[in-house]
Chain A
């Protein structure tokens, strides 16, 4: 390396200090790009599920035109987009945080002037640009070309979908955050991650639309925040909720998001106090 090459990188770029959280998101994005092949396969593999579900539902619809108020066209759209949304926040957000806690690298987060929850949100956003981008390609290419998914019911539905999607994204990150935080107590996370994944897929309506669940489960799912991650955006997308229904659904999402934010910050403070002696 010559003196010139060693000089240039320092001088390039930065003209003013960026916002710390934007900068964090950008750095995570770069990190995620380093893993793009893995990500591509992860997303691709989950898409096998979409295809299985697609054919299961097609068989179910062969004898009737509508199930729980959804037509076959709506159902196949639901199945594909639900998986697309689900892939927005992938494994890495949670596993990265758990790894940091388990190995103790989390101390660096503690000695920097950062809010830990916001830091994790920024990280998740960085990962999502890559993971979400890849899953979007799968959803659109396979969905539009082979599985005949529909466009949003109307422009308004489309906009509400995007709004609900954003709130849902933040909700999911905070839920993942809270589950990962349990690592402070359990110090081992894979079991937690698997259970969380299963529960979240059921209660968010990723596997089956909430309308098809037995009464009691439907009630539970409708009250909990998880529906806001997949089910609520999709109801808007399909044009099943408008007017006051829409206000109610967005309101519920917002209330849960606020509550989760408060809980996440409190939980972090609490976790802070149980920091183990790890390493004397």
Chain B
């Protein structure tokens, strides 16, 4: 089976004006414009099979959105090849548009002042969805996303969670084959988040929908995407199973300590007790959070040392989360060696 989304050596460069600060800078730029070339995406290779669910992560400005824009046909690549459902997006943007759908957590594609149902109907018309199919899809979406009570309400009156449900529904009216989710759960409460994830998961299972998700919420990724692609400075730095990240880099561990009286010197005492392994100690309202490298010291030993040094009320050992690994990766504290690249690259 050939991949449904593929990219080879994808490059996108922008010319960005270089302006000095203030009015003087603006005037100077007007007289003698200077531009710098910014490479947002530098030789990205992607290969995603139909029905796969892939998380596309990376720090802000790493090139995530640019890649999505290249895949949706919004941007024209500076070099390299890109194909979605056998169509080159920037060459045949409209044909590509029929196969895909994009949901942005920070934007709505619903028409602001008219009832949600009208937006759905208009989308059905825009994508020329046959009546019977439109009805079937709507019944399904209304049922699964519980849209019934929302259809008569203008989009501007919806809460963020309701709006996201409607936006997801709107994205699926034309039964796309590939769904791009750009930070879909941003700002949502836990319950709504869980519900959205469940919905996307079920759409994937039932319809064979291919999902490419960008998110800073690792919960989204953990639940929805077995595979993770990580991009940094325009290059792919990791492409492989999500679990693999935890297994390979999960040597950071955490102990959450609750203290009888959070004396001001608690952090100093703990630091002194564990000085040889140089832990990271954060103070909280009730005590401390001690982060250490499990290759240097066992958690048992850390707990023992802390119990001796401090008036400990409670101790909890936190499992290494992928979040902390990804966070360190974002901060540049963790670098993947070339050998660490996943199976597909």
Binding site for B on A (CB under 8 A): 1, 3, 5-7, 9-11, 13-20, 22-24, 27, 30-31, 34-35, 103-105, 107-108, 110-115, 272-273, 275-277, 279-280
Residue B26 CB within 8 A of the other chain: no
* Stretch of B97-105, B218-226, B283-291, B292-300 that contacts chain A: B97-105
Q: Which residues of A contact B117 (CB under 8 A)?
A: 9-10
Residue of B nearest to A18 (CB): B125
Residue B326 CB within 8 A of the other chain: no
Q: A18-B125, A30-B118 are in contact. Are A6 and B111 (CB under 8 A)?
A: no
B residues 88-137 near A (Cβ < 8 Å) are 93-95, 97-98, 100-102, 104, 107, 109, 111-114, 117-119, 121-122, 124-131, 134-135
| Interface CB pairs A-B, < 8 A, 22 | A7-B148, A11-B135, A14-B121, A16-B130, A17-B130, A24-B122, A24-B125, A34-B154, A35-B113, A103-B107, A107-B69, A108-B102, A108-B107, A112-B126, A113-B94, A114-B97, A114-B126, A276-B14, A277-B16, A277-B65, A280-B40, A280-B63
Residue of A nearest to B117 (CB): A9
**Would A110 and B74 count as touching, CB distance under 8 A?**
yes
**Would B107 and A104 count as touching, CB distance under 8 A?**
yes
Q: How large is the interface on B (under 10, 10 to 19, 20 to 34, 35 or more residues)?
A: 35 or more
Closest chain B CB from A144 CB (angstroms): 33
Interface centre among B102, B104, B148 (most CB of A within 10 A): B148
Q: Which residues of A contact B95 (CB under 8 A)?
A: 113
**Would A15 and B127 count as touching, CB distance under 8 A?**
no
Distance of A13 Cα from B125 Cα, bound (Å): 12
Distance of A91 Cα from B38 Cα, bound (Å): 36
Closest chain B CB from A27 CB (angstroms): 5
**Would A112 and B152 count as touching, CB distance under 8 A?**
no
Distance of A272 Cα from B94 Cα, bound (Å): 14
Told that A105-B107, A108-B102 touch, could you supply 20 new A-B pairs with CB distance under 8 A?
A6-B147, A10-B139, A14-B121, A14-B134, A17-B129, A17-B134, A27-B111, A27-B122, A30-B114, A107-B102, A107-B107, A110-B74, A110-B93, A111-B97, A113-B95, A277-B16, A277-B66, A280-B62, A280-B63, A280-B65
Residue of B nearest to A107 (CB): B74
Number of A-B residue pairs, CB cutoff 8 Å, is 124
Closest chain B CB from A1 CB (angstroms): 4
Residue of A nearest to B146 (CB): A6
Residue of A nearest to B12 (CB): A277
Distance of A2 Cα from B32 Cα, bound (Å): 65
Q: Which of the residues A5, A24, A34, A104 comes within 8 Å of B126, measured between beta carbons? A: A24
Q: Which of the residues A22, A111, A115, A272 comes within 8 Å of B72, measured between beta carbons? A: A111
**Would A273 and B76 count as touching, CB distance under 8 A?**
yes
Closest chain A CB from B330 CB (angstroms): 13
**Would B128 and A280 count as touching, CB distance under 8 A?**
no
Closest chain A CB from B178 CB (angstroms): 11
Q: A20-B128, A31-B114, A277-B66 are in contact. Are A10 and B149 (CB under 8 A)?
A: no
Q: A13-B121, A275-B69 are in contact. Are A280 and B113 (CB under 8 A)?
A: no
Distance of A277 Cα from B135 Cα, bound (Å): 38
Q: Which 9 A-B pairs have the closest CB atoms?
A: A6-B148, A23-B125, A1-B149, A34-B113, A113-B94, A113-B97, A280-B61, A20-B126, A110-B74
Q: Which residues of A contact B63 (CB under 8 A)?
A: 280
Closest chain A CB from B182 CB (angstroms): 9
**Would B73 and A111 count as touching, CB distance under 8 A?**
yes
Residue B188 CB within 8 A of the other chain: no
Residue B165 CB within 8 A of the other chain: no
Closest chain B CB from A277 CB (angstroms): 6
